Amino acid sequence: MSPPSGPEKRFFDALAAGRFEIQQCAACAKHVFYPRVLCPHCGSGELGWVAASGRGTVYSTTVVRRKPGDGGDYNVCLVDLAEGVRMMSRVAGVAPQDVTIGMAVKARIAEGLVEFTPA
Amino acid sequence: MRGSVAIAGVGLAGCGEAPGWTEMEIAAAAAKNALGDAGLSARDVDGIVVASTNIFMSGLALAEHLGVHPKFTESTMVGGSSFVGHLIPAALALNAGLCDTILVAYGSSQRTGVGRAEAGKYKMALDPQPFEHPYKPFNPPTSYALAAARHMHQYGTTRAQLAEIAVAARQWAQLNPEAFAREPLTVEDVLGSRMVSDPLTVRDCCLVTDGGGAYVLTRAERAKDFPKPPAYLLGVGAAHWHRQISSMPDLTVTAATESGQRAFEMAGLGPQDVDVVELYDAFTINTLLFLEDLGFCGKGEGGAFVSGGRIAPGGELPVNTNGGGLSCVHPGMYGIFLLVEAVRQLRGEGGARQVKDAAVALAHGNGGVLSSQITALLGTKDTL
Ligand SMILES: [Zn+2]
């Protein structure tokens, strides 16, 4: 248990410091998200941290319907990062129904979370 | 495992609304009905199998409630597919001689139970899922909506084709006096109903009901001594590749491709041999994906396959003959109801919805968000 925290806290600590970082496996070179203890591709425990490119493509998207009084409709999507990993997120700066599959997006940090805007 | 065990009794209880009943009471009432169906009482049970979304150590709770001192207890919880999956350890235990009579039961008061919103908050706190929950997916619908949107994008599947699945389920429900939602439903009704998480409307989503179900599993040689014709386990297979939708490798392909193959292989059967199909239809997209992944049609062909009433009463392939989770019953987890309906069809107890000469039934369970996939094939004695 040599690192000071588990990978989940490590991820959110970096995010709080303004850095979007993901894991990369030293053994198989594949990127990993969400942060884990073992590489889900090869089983290696040698997972290091690299800065995410922040470039991504919307893999799928939905508009969650919510009453206007409760804040109105919002977007939830899955984004494939250029590194080959997928994450749940949202696309900001565009109406939720205008987020489309295949849309190029770029990451930013907002309220301690990774979100995306059209690239 | 093929043909070695059989379901000797099935029962339902509290389906629809059961105000004033606890989950364990509903499970026990279903158990009583299943045991009665098998000509047994709780005194005869020496194996207890149960899963619950709410009750901690549910195996202990059900045995205590029934006064059973089991030799075998199993509570694997993989979501709604659990009760189909329980066939695997239950069959192994029976075949190993660990016990002789296994009761599998489930009960839920999801519709009328009190304190459910509060419980939901506690569950979220205990299991935060920090890589999804902060984005506020309205789950489970949002996860299934993401799969539906991707299937539509990739294969040109339409909302109207998904709506056909809801309409077919409703038409079956209209033939089932025990179904909860029996009023007429058209494709236009589905398309025009309230959107929940695009592209799924409230009519693409399953019901929220109370209800319980149970079945009794015994070794095959013993099952033939019970009052009702046994439904023999011909094959069963399980697979899962993810828990959260963001970790699903391809949202258009489920692990049913593997679970189905395993079940068919064990049974020595293929999709063409199946007379009646019970699929876990938490959402319309489920039915479509499972028809593809279990081999009833090719990948991407599900939309065309379900069109024109093909899976509705009178169509070529009877699917979800009780009305399914969409129109019959869906109390949190639906898995056990797949098996109850499959057994009833194999016995010829389906009444107006009976599939003629049904000899092989497929029950396919889904758990999580297209996560756990478990396929079972049951048959009459002629299929052994
Ligand atoms: Zn690796």
What is the four-CA torsion angle of B133, B115, B113, B165, rounded to 10 degrees? -20
B193 CB near a chain A CB, below 8 Å? no
Q: Judging by beta carbons within 10 Å of its beta carbon (0-12, 13-18, 19+), is residue B377 exposed, middle or buried? A: buried
How many A×B Cβ pairs under 8 Å? 68
Residues A72 and A112 in one domain: yes
Residue B97 near residue B222, CB atoms below 8 Å = no
pLDDT at residue A2 tops 90: no
- Per the domain annotation, does B252 fall within a domain? yes
Q: What is the pLDDT of residues B18-63, one digit of tens each?
A: 999 999 999 999 999 999 999 999 999 999 999 999 999 999 999 9
Instruction: Name residue B102's beta-bridge partners.
Output: B47, B217
Phi, psi of B123 (to 5 degrees): -60, -40
A78/B137 touch (CB, cutoff 8 Å), yes or no: no
3-state secondary structure of B283: strand
Residues A60 and A113 in one domain: yes
Angle between helices B141-155 and B284-293 (to 10 degrees): 60
- Per the domain annotation, does B339 fall within a domain? yes
Residue of B nearest to A90 (CA): B135
3-state secondary structure of B303: helix
Range of the domain at B76: 5-112+207-383
Range of the domain at A28: 6-51
Confidence of residue B96 (pLDDT cuts 50, 70, 90): very high
pLDDT of amino acid A4: 85
Question: Model's pTM, two decimal places?
Answer: 0.98
Q: What is the pLDDT of residues B180-203, one digit of tens each?
A: 999 999 999 999 999 999 999 999
Q: What is the pLDDT of residues A10-38, one digit of tens each?
A: 999 999 999 999 999 999 999 999 999 99
pLDDT of amino acid B205: 98
CA contacts within 13 A on the Cβ side of B59: 16
Phi, psi of A4 (to 5 degrees): -65, -20
Cα–Cα distance, A76 to A84 (Å, whole number): 19
A63/B195 touch (CB, cutoff 8 Å), yes or no: yes
Residues A111 and A60 in one domain: yes
CB burial string B120-156: b at 16+ within 10 A, e below = eeeeeeeeeeebbebbebbbbbbbbbbbbbbbbbebe
Peptide bond into B199 cis (omega under 30): yes
Q: How many domains are contained in chain B?
A: 1
Residue B51 near residue B332, CB atoms below 8 Å = no
What pairing do the DSSP bridges indicate for beta strands B47-50 and B101-108? Answer: parallel
Q: What is the pLDDT of residues A52-83, one digit of tens each?
A: 999 999 999 999 999 999 999 999 999 999 99
Tell me the nearest-neighbour CA distance from B209 into chain A, angstroms.
22
- Per the domain annotation, does B18 fall within a domain? yes
How far CA B185 is from CA of B166, B196, B204, in Å, comes to 8, 18, 12
Cα–Cα distance, B58 to B62 (Å, whole number): 6
3-state secondary structure of B178: coil
pLDDT > 70: what percent of chain B?
100
Confidence of residue A1 (pLDDT cuts 50, 70, 90): low
B304: which DSSP letter? H
- Per the domain annotation, does A1 fall within a domain? no
Instruction: Name residue B275's beta-bridge partners.
Output: none
Residue B291 near residue B316, CB atoms below 8 Å = no
ipTM, interface predicted TM-score of the complex: 0.98
Confidence of residue B246 (pLDDT cuts 50, 70, 90): very high
d(CA B219, ligand 1 centre) in Å? 45
Q: How many domains are contained in chain A?
A: 2
CATH number at residue A91: 2.40.50
pLDDT of amino acid B224: 86
- Per the domain annotation, does A82 fall within a domain? yes
pLDDT at residue A3 tops 90: no
Q: Judging by beta carbons within 10 Å of its beta carbon (0-12, 13-18, 19+), is residue A69 exposed, middle or buried? A: exposed
Residues A112 and A59 in one domain: yes
Beta carbons within 8 Å of A71's beta carbon, 6+ residues apart: none
Which one of A34, A60, A102 has the shortest CB-CB distance to B251?
A: A60
pLDDT at residue B156 tops 90: yes
Average pLDDT, chain B: 97
Lowest mean pLDDT among A40-49, B110-119, B185-194: B110-119
Tell me the nearest-neighbour CA distance from A77 into chain B, angstroms.
7
pLDDT at residue B342 tops 90: yes
Q: What is the pLDDT of residues B285-297, one digit of tens each?
A: 999 999 999 999 9
Q: What is the pLDDT of residues A76-96, one digit of tens each?
A: 999 999 999 999 999 999 999
Tell me the nearest-neighbour CA distance from A114 into chain B, angstroms.
10
CATH number at residue B95: 3.40.47.10
- Per the domain annotation, does B364 fall within a domain? yes
